[in-house]
Structure 1
Amino acid sequence: MHFLATVASLASVAMAASVTSPACSAHTSNVQLGNKILAEAATDIDNALSLAAGFKCPAPMAYSPWTKACSCLPGQKYDTTQKSCSGSALVGAWPLPKCDASGSTVALTAFCAISPTKFTKYDATHAWCQATIETFTFCAEAEIEAEISALGLGINLDVELDISLTSKISATLRSTSAALASLFIETLAEAVVIFNTNAFGLAAVAADVEVSLTTGVFAQLQSAACLLGFGTCQFDCVSFSTKGCHNYIDVVGALGGRISGLVGVTILPDVILSISSIKAVTHLVVKDMLCASLKLNTPLISEYKYTC
């Protein structure tokens, strides 16, 4: 699924640069870009996207379309003291999601995805099930397994779900893809404009952000984050997703912005279930998330049969 091909190609260059650029350099360049991006987003989204192509993730993190934020490798966490990713990266396949954790009474099966239209039944040998920042595992209704197999999804890696084929796709399969789309922003540039500006009403100010990574993360980034805004402190939710940010999802095992924390999400028709760090099941409304995440792609929202 390619939302903005031109921006995607530009953003990929920026992401690649982030892997080798020092973290402090990324912070400095992002701060310099911040006010320009914010100003453009208020009047011209396309220009804001072009500017945001220069936004870089703090090294050694790179952008993950599933967390909609900069992330370390799966299994690792960002160390704010050392300004580096720490811990052991996962090797091989993602762990098999625990589909009974949400308490759902319908039959569930584990799946792997590389995009909202490319997903398959969990198979530890499948390319889409390998632990990377570009892949995602989840639980969904077991009934779609036969349907995606018949469509060739996951068997031929070039095949993706065509959501325009209304008569050939079940409501459950379409809903599953829509839920994945609500969790997915393809490019770093798009995420910056959506979550680091107020063009769509989703920017977070400092007062809204709860420090959830460590007490030091906000203190260390506060001066740089505040320079991103006009008059009020604009928190950088893309570089460091945390509570209070609209791209943050709390899941047992890790906190927002950490891709390994998303393993085990359960997708049901029109709702996503996640288990919070206090063991509470959170219900996320797919329509609300889809309308927020796909602000830059209203035709796609309508293809999923939603009206925002």
Structure 2
Amino acid sequence: MYFSKFVMTLASLASMVSATAMPQSPVDSGLDARDAGALFERTSFKCPTGMSYCSWTKACACPAGQSWDSKKSCCSGTKKTGAWPKPSVSAYGSVDAKLGAFCACSPYKIVAYNSAHSYCQASIKNVVFLAPLEIAAELKVYAGAAINVNAGCSVSLKNTCGGLAGLYLESAVDAVALFNTNTYGLSVSAGGVVGGIVGGVLNTVSGLTCWLGLTKCATYDCVSYCTKGCQNHIDVKGSIGGYLNGLIGFCVLPDVLLLVGSAGSIINVAVEHLQCLVGNIIKSILSTFDCGCN
């Protein structure tokens, strides 16, 4: 299979300022502690009405099953209930590995797919994905508890956690600091936005909801709508970017994430690129997964 490349622009990473946040726990992202620094202490960011922050897409999202209606400025469609569908391995048929289906509510809380399990329920807090089948037996031992990737964890399971960690940023405040401000040098230029949701989303953000109290947002609000062209956007088939539906069913391999792109081809996203991006906020990611960021 020929994989079309999705390349995340990282040229500005070398000039990024060190984060003031405490590291995210490599054991359980829910245990994250925050520094009392003003950047993370005083924020008035709120997602658009009807949307909530999704840690997996690092942007605001509509409830599972719904999508953003730009004309009505609200989420529309039928909310999904029950479990996310079990992903099929057929889309990644040429992958040279036996794949199994799994569910996660964080990069470190994973179970084999079970439609009755809480981690598999349709929610912007959960994802279902494919990964090497060999981790299934090991996950039975954890039984949904937090995986300690620094001790007693197989290389294969650590790689899976690492792939998920590259997608995940727990705090909306962190996402705003990373994507909507100039603090980390990731502002989006007008020429860099190649498309996106219509209806005013691409307007300058002077009147939008992403003011941190210390600095203005960059040219576009990447977190409220995960606008195409922003660094937290992955162009996947189905609902785009910040809408979780589009990320359901991705495949985690040791070095890459595979997703079905909007054109139907397979997108190959380097895990280390994702980890380097998130690692500007969550410093422990870089050491835990031996990232070679420049």
Q: Choose the corresponding residue for 2:199, options 216, 230, 233.
A: 216
Q: Choose the corresponding residue for 1:188, options 149, 169, 172.
A: 172
Say if 2:97 is the partner of 1:106.
yes
What is the one-letter code of the residue matched to 1:272?
L
Q: Choose the corresponding residue for 1:149, options 125, 140, 147.
A: 140
Query: RMSD in angstroms over aligned alpha carbons?
Result: 2.4
Say if 2:272 is the partner of 1:296.
no
Q: Choose the corresponding residue for 2:150, options 164, 168, 175.
A: 164
2:72 match: secondary structure: coil
1:300 match: secondary structure: helix
Q: Choose the corresponding residue for 2:45, options 50, 55, 61.
A: 55
Please say if residues 140 and 267 of structure 1, whose CA atoms lie closer than 8 Å, have aligned partners that are also in contact. yes
Aligned to 1:272: 257
Aligned to 1:178: 162
Please say if residues 196 and 202 of structure 2, whose CA atoms lie closer than 8 Å, have aligned partners that are also in contact. no
Q: CA deviation at 1:303?
A: 1.4
Aligned to 1:138: 129
Aligned to 1:5: 33
Please say if residues 206 and 233 of structure 1, whose CA atoms lie closer than 8 Å, have aligned partners that are also in contact. no
| Matched length | 262
Between stretches 255-264 and 93-102, larger displacement belongs to 93-102
How far, CA to CA, are the matches of 1:268 and 1:50 in structure 2? 36
Q: CA deviation at 1:306?
A: 2.2
Provide structure 1 residue ranges, at least 5 long, that are not aligned to the other structure.
8-44
What is the one-letter code of the residue matched to 1:270?
D
How far, CA to CA, are the matches of 2:251 and 2:192 in structure 1? 27
User: Structure 1 vs Structure 2: percent identity of aligned residues?
Assistant: 36
Structure 1 length-normalised TM:
0.79
Aligned to 1:127: 118
Provide structure 2 residue ranges, at least 5 long, that are not aligned to the other structure.
1-28
2:137 match: secondary structure: helix
Say if 2:67 is the partner of 1:77.
yes
Q: CA deviation at 1:228?
A: 6.7
2:64 match: secondary structure: coil
Q: CA deviation at 1:304?
A: 1.9
What is the one-letter code of the residue matched to 1:274?
L
Aligned to 1:25: none
Q: CA deviation at 1:134?
A: 0.6
Task: Give the number of the structure with larger relative contact order, counting CA–CA contacts within 8 Å between residues 6 or more apart.
Answer: 2
Q: Which portions of structure 1, spanning 4 or more consecutive aligned residues, are displaced by more than 4 angstroms? A: 219-223, 225-233
Between stretches 201-210 and 86-95, larger displacement belongs to 201-210
Structure 2 length-normalised TM:
0.82
